[in-house]
Structure 1
Amino acid sequence: MIYYIIYTSTPNGNVTPEVLNDITQESIKWNSQQNITGMLLNVEDKYFQFLEGEEMQVRKLFDMIKGDSRHTNVTIRVQGYSNERVFTEWSMGSWMLTNKELIELSGLKDLKAYLDDPVNNSLQSKKFISMMSNLLQTWISHEPERAKRLKSDH
């Protein structure tokens, strides 16, 4: 069984493509050694991250993430187990979007609803897994070169 955590947080300061790339590169190094995969999404004033792997390793990583000064309000939204990974070929993918772009991207309306109101959102784990799979496919189709480059770093 694969353990996963989906959490949100609030960035400290302005998130630029360079900041997101630095986080991604650090994550790739750590995650590939720990057999953790996932995706970090930045939508304006929110981070949304999906991590998956062996439970002890994911929990250890999440403890480190909670202490990272680059963000606050780190809150687990969903955690659980899955029979298979969503992000089989990436230690860490990342994507920066605006709220407008998120609304306009087909297949991601559930993610927008979740980011708008995560506490009261009643999506179940299977729907989250499907949502993350849609996010992955949309990311690959919109940023194929970056996705390919990050894949090769794994």
Structure 2
Amino acid sequence: MIYYIIYTSKPTGEITPETLKDITSVSEKNNPGKKITGMLLGVENKYLQYLEGPEENVNELFQKIWKDPRHQNVTQWIKGYSKERVFGRWSMGSWMLSYSALKKMPALADLKKFLDDPLNNDLQSKKFMSMMHDLLKMWIEEEAEH
């Protein structure tokens, strides 16, 4: 079983594509040794991150993020176990989204709702996991087009 955590936070500064690239670059170096994979989304002025891997390693990384002065209002919404990795292809992927872009992506229609009013229950967790799978699929398709 793979342990996962989904959290949101607000950056202390502005989220830019460069910010996400820098975070992703560091994660790509550090995460493989800890068997952590995941996805970091920058949506308007929030981070949304899905971390997965060995429970001890994911919790250790989450505590590091929670203490990181670049994050504020760090909130863990969902944690649990999955039979398989959602983002096994990347040590950490990242994507910058806007609410207007989300409106054009029917598969992610519930993402804004989740960011605005997250619920910590099994139904919400399953919806979110489905959205993350859909996001991964769209991301792969988008990268294949370029």
TM-score by length of 1: 0.87
Equivalent-residue separation in structure 2 for 1:26 and 1:82 (angstroms):
25
Query: 1:7 corresponds to which residue?
Result: 7
List runs of 5+ in structure 1 lacking aligned partners.
147-154
State the one-letter code of the partner of 1:104.
Answer: K
Equivalent-residue separation in structure 2 for 1:97 and 1:63 (angstroms):
25
Query: 2:67 corresponds to which residue?
Result: 67
For each residue in 1:77-111, what CA deviation from the matched residue of structure 2 results, as whole angstroms up to 9, or x when unmatched?
A: 10001111101110100000111001211200121
Query: 1:150 corresponds to which residue?
Result: none
Aligned length: 146
- What RMSD in Å do the two structures reach over aligned CA positions? 1.9
Q: Contact 1:114 / 1:121 at 8 angstroms: preserved in 2? A: no
List runs of 5+ in structure 2 lacking aligned partners.
none
* Cα distance, 1:145 vs structure 2: 7.6
Change (3 A) 1:110 1:128: same
TM-score by length of 2: 0.92
For each residue in 1:105-138, what CA deviation from the matched residue of structure 2 results, as whole angstroms up to 9, or x when unmatched?
A: 1200121210121158874332222121111112
SS state at 2:84 partner:
coil
Equivalent-residue separation in structure 2 for 1:100 and 1:17 (angstroms):
17
Q: Contact 2:7 / 2:74 at 8 angstroms: preserved in 1? A: yes
* Cα distance, 1:70 vs structure 2: 1.3
State the one-letter code of the partner of 1:13.
Answer: G
Q: Contact 1:43 / 1:99 at 8 angstroms: preserved in 2? A: yes
